[in-house]
Chains A and B, each alone.
Chain A
Amino acid sequence: MSSLIGSPPETGATTPTAVPARQGLSAGRARTARRGLRVLAAVVVLGVAWALIAPNYPSFVFPTPADVWASFTRAVERGVWVEQVIATLGHLGSAFAIVLVAGLPLGILIGRSIIAEDLSRVVLVFFQTVPTVVLIALALAIYGISDESVIGVTVAGSITYFLLNVIQGTRAIDRDLVDMARAYHANETTIMRTVVVPSVIPYFLAGARITLGVAWQITLFSEYLMGSAGIGFNVNTAISLLDTSTVFMWGLSVVALTLLVEYGLFRPVERRLTRHMRRT
């Protein structure tokens, strides 16, 4: 989901070829501004269309922007909004951190060792194909309704996306560079630190981005079905009361949060980690 955001020339920034070559700096800036304006225009048009069409329907079918805004201010005033957002970000952040911390060494191990690959294949295929609903049912049976259940399901449901990227990145490591390091008597730890990990970083970032998108979906889904705290649970409560404007409110809140994570966290980290690929 977060992987879909952003204007085309920026999205694939994980490969060197996707970095646009230097063009006239001011011309480039003017083009960026023009494109930004177009995106803004589309937002305004959609908003106006929403405001014009919604009043023709009952509020529980298609709430107006004003209904949704009222629902938002109410949730913020009652402290529900911040509380629930924190709960969901807690689930998501914990699961994402576990995936990254466990997935990077695991992925490198599987990518480098045929034995590890063969041994892990069944597990990988299982997690890749098992329906999230089944994971949720299993989590309910094991942990009951709890934060651990939501986090566990999110980890189990999203880690393969990350692993597959890291494995691919490990396989794509330039053997020549490893041989070079070996010829200069670098030991295995040094090779890992100076050659392997930096090589995997673009794949790490691509995998992290896909994983984050998937993890958002699974977290909300689990919250909805398991009835623990969080945005998903609140959507469930709201729709059972036919409070559609609150459902809209949470939907738009998630969109805003995703954008915030993407531009506030992901892009700056990515820019820092791939700075050697930029043309100056």
Chain B
Amino acid sequence: MAQDDPQPLVTFERVCKSFGRRAEESVLVDVDLDVGRGELVAIIGPSGCGKSTVLNLVAGLTDVTSGSVRVADPEVRSAYVFQNPRLLPWRDVQANVEFSLEQIGLSRKDIRDRADEALDLVHLGQHKDKYPHELSGGMQQRAALARGLALDPGLLLLDEPFGALDALTRGYLQEELLGIVRRFQTTTLLVTHDIDEALLLADRLAVMSSRPARIRQIFELPFGPDRALDKVVAHPEFLPLRTEIRELLRPEVEATDPGSASTDASQATAAGTRRGSRARAGTAQ
């Protein structure tokens, strides 16, 4: 849908990233990706492949080695929700949510009001006077989400934001997030290693290979803008897509974690490479 917009909000052009002085450790290779306005793009890949680096590049926490990452609207307010909550331990929940707002030059009263709103949005209103160590992991992550959402961001960067949570809390927060992002038409880039999460939340899904990571294939997801978990799971294309993505990721996970390679590993890898080259060819068009 949104990638047909004349100008995407975020554009990756042949982005390469390597760490170390002499580029010995290559993390990202030739990443091309657009994120249209109001679109939710998910990036999925084996753990440790460099997915987080993609978000760090957009957030300006690190620079590309070559290629470019462009955010079309430089005034856009971005919010970054990390894998771990990253709350300031010496601030209570309210003050932690206010942290993001303090950076954009609002009056004290506006800061307070908008933090209150965001806390209500994630149902933390009653806990705003507590310090992070007094909250459960799920509540901490919700506070981190509120810190991002309070900004009313034009661009939301999510790095496996629910990865550390139990399945129940995760499912609940995913639906909540989906509702919020839909309601405010927030352009979102989500990094995850959970196929179901990606299928539920994303408009488009980019599958990455293991390190050095390339985008192997981009899927257009057919579940419509007003999707919900139950509807998505019941959709006739859900299972085939899930299987296809799983198979696409299998050799990548085995490459990351050789211990898990089965007896037919060589066969799977060979198949994966074939598939991979086809997918790359497809992406390059």
Q: Which residues of chain A have a CB within 8 Å of any CB of chain B?
A: 16, 176-177, 179-186, 190, 194-195, 198, 201, 276-277, 279-280
Beta-carbon contact of B103 and A195 below 8 Å: no
Cβ of B223 under 8 Å from chain A: no
Q: Are A276 and B89 in contact (CB under 8 A)?
A: yes
- A184 and B131 contact, Cβ closer than 8 Å, known pairs A179-B61, A194-B99: no
Residues of A within 8 A of B86 (CB): 176-177, 179-180
| Residue from the set A180, A186, A194, A279 with the largest chain B CB neighbour count within 10 Å | A180
> Residue on B with the closest CB to A280?
B134
B12 within 8 A of A: no
Which B80-134 residues sit within 8 Å CB-CB of chain A? Answer: 80, 82, 84, 86, 88-92, 99-100, 102-104, 131, 133-134
Binding site for A on B (CB under 8 A): 56, 59-61, 78-80, 82, 84, 86, 88-92, 99-100, 102-104, 131, 133-134, 147, 151, 157
Question: In chain A, what residue has the closest Cβ to B78?
Answer: A183
The answer to whether A190 touches B84 (Cβ under 8 A) is no
Q: Which residues of A contact B88 (CB under 8 A)?
A: 177, 194-195, 198
Q: Which residues of A contact B78 (CB under 8 A)?
A: 183
Closest A residue to B91 by CB, please name it: A276
The answer on a CB contact under 8 Å between A184 and B89 is: no
Interchain nearest-CB distance for B90 vs A (Å)? 5
Which residues on A sit within 8 Å (CB–CB) of B102?
190
B90 touches A183 (CB 8 A): no
Residues from chain B with a CB closer than 8 A to the CB of A201 are 90
Tell me the smallest distance from the CB of B204 to a CB of chain A, in Å: 23
| B188 CB → nearest A CB, Å | 15
Q: Tell me which of A16, A177, A183, A280 contacts B59 (CB under 8 A).
A: A183
CB distance from A62 to the nearest CB of B (A): 51
Residues of B within 8 A of A180 (CB): 80, 82, 86
Smallest CB–CB gap between B147 and chain A, Å? 8
How far is it, in angstroms, between the C-alpha of A195 and the C-alpha of B90 when the chains are bound? 9
Contacts of A277 on B, CB cut-off 8 Å?
Answer: 89, 133
Instruction: Evaluate contact between A198 and B59: CB separation under 8 angstroms.
Output: no
In Å, the complex CA distance between A194 and B92 comes to 13
A184: contacting residue among B56, B91, B92, B103, CB under 8 A? B103
Contact B103 A279 (CB under 8 A): no
Residues B103 and A182 in contact, CB atoms below 8 Å apart:
no
B207 to chain A, nearest CB (A): 25
B131 x A276 contact (CB < 8 A): yes
In the bound complex, what is the Cα–Cα distance between A184 and B80 (angstroms)? 7
Distance to closest chain A CB from B41 (angstroms): 18
- The CA of A180 and the CA of B243, in the complex, are separated in Å by 36
Q: Contact: B103 with A186, CB < 8 Å?
A: yes
- Complex: chain A residue closest to B62, CB-CB: A179
Shortest C-beta distance, B138 to chain A (Å), equals 19
Q: How many Å from the CB of A227 to the closest CB on chain B?
A: 46
7 cross-chain pairs, A with B, having the tightest CB-CB distances, nearest first: A183-B80, A180-B86, A183-B59, A198-B90, A276-B90, A184-B100, A276-B131
| Contact partners of A183 in chain B: CB under 8 A | 59-61, 78, 80, 157
Of B89, B90, B91, chain A has the most CB atoms within 10 Å of the CB of B90
Are B103 and A190 neighbours in the complex by a CB distance under 8 Å? yes
- The reply to whether A184 and B79 form a contact with Cβ atoms under 8 Å apart is yes
Known: A194-B88, A195-B88. A176 touches B99 (CB 8 A): no
- Which residue of the partner chain A has the closest CB to B131? A276
14 A-B pairs with CB atoms under 8 Å apart are: A176-B84, A179-B56, A179-B86, A180-B86, A181-B99, A182-B60, A183-B59, A183-B61, A183-B80, A183-B157, A198-B88, A198-B90, A276-B92, A276-B131
Knowing that A180-B80, A183-B80 touch, tell me 10 more A-B residue pairs with CB under 8 angstroms: A176-B84, A177-B88, A180-B86, A183-B60, A184-B80, A184-B103, A185-B104, A186-B99, A194-B99, A276-B91
